[in-house]
Amino acid sequence: MELDAAVALVTGAGRGLGLHIARELAARGAKVYATARNPAAVDVPGATVLPLDVTDQAAVDAVAAAAPDVTLLVNNAGLATFTSLVDGSLDDARLEMETHYFGTLRMVRAFAPVLAANGGGAVVNVLSALSWVTYLHATSYSAAKAAEWSLTNGIRLELAGQGTVVSGVHLGAADTDMMRRWDVPKLAPEFVAAAVADGIERGDLEILVDDAAVQAKAALAADVRQVYPQLR
């Protein structure tokens, strides 16, 4: 995809990776719709700002109606509750699934006909290395991201017939508000945004941003006790 001719819609563009991805796409010449639950937080020069909560079907439908020229849908909106699966809040676990899985699905269902009408275009789902491996305190988040990864594979097959390219972005930790509480090595969000834009331009079906993503994917073929040594 040539980004200087693209019309992109980015969800969760009020902060974090979404904000930086929207800025990067705009800097490369794309027309950008930047959406967020709090539109006032969006700071993307030249973008059209739209309110959007991906857990609200009416809001999703309104955005699809307001952006009929989209050729690139970037599903980035997300959250992390840091709840556990066994004894954590079921409401928090449900919210993560509602946002990452069903929110992405709502957007894809709303924009699939828009993309088809505009020549096929592309869908990019911002996933995580945690789609493939999990950690204590992130088990619910990982489950939701794993579901979104499977969804990405599914819609890739379903949308191939209309010429829509579907890509999944995987990375470890980025230096965003979501990861503020964790003292781990973090990628600059500007670096991630540039890697995502490069992958879109190349037509990559999987955009593995860093070694954490590469290693997590490789671990899918490993013995479970190697991946999780605490089980030994």
Cα 117–chain centre separation: 23
DSSP string computed for 94-130: HHHHIIIIIIHHHHHHHHHHHHHHTT--EEEEE--GG
SS3 58: helix
Give the active site residue among 101, 135, 141, 228.
141
Q: Is 141 part of the annotated catalytic residue set? A: yes
168 with 150: CB under 8 angstroms? no
Q: What span, in angstroms and rounded, lies between the C-alpha atoms of 200 and 21? A: 11
Reading the block at residue 24, the tokens are 């990067």
31 with 22: CB under 8 angstroms? no
Q: What span, in angstroms and rounded, lies between the C-alpha atoms of 199 and 131? A: 19
Q: Which residues, at least 6 apart from 66, have a Cβ–Cβ distance to it below 8 Å?
A: 33, 50
Q: Which residues, at least 6 apart from 48, have a Cβ–Cβ distance to it below 8 Å?
A: 31, 32, 33, 34, 67
DSSP string computed for 170-183: E-S-BSSGGGTT--
Catalytic residue numbers read 141
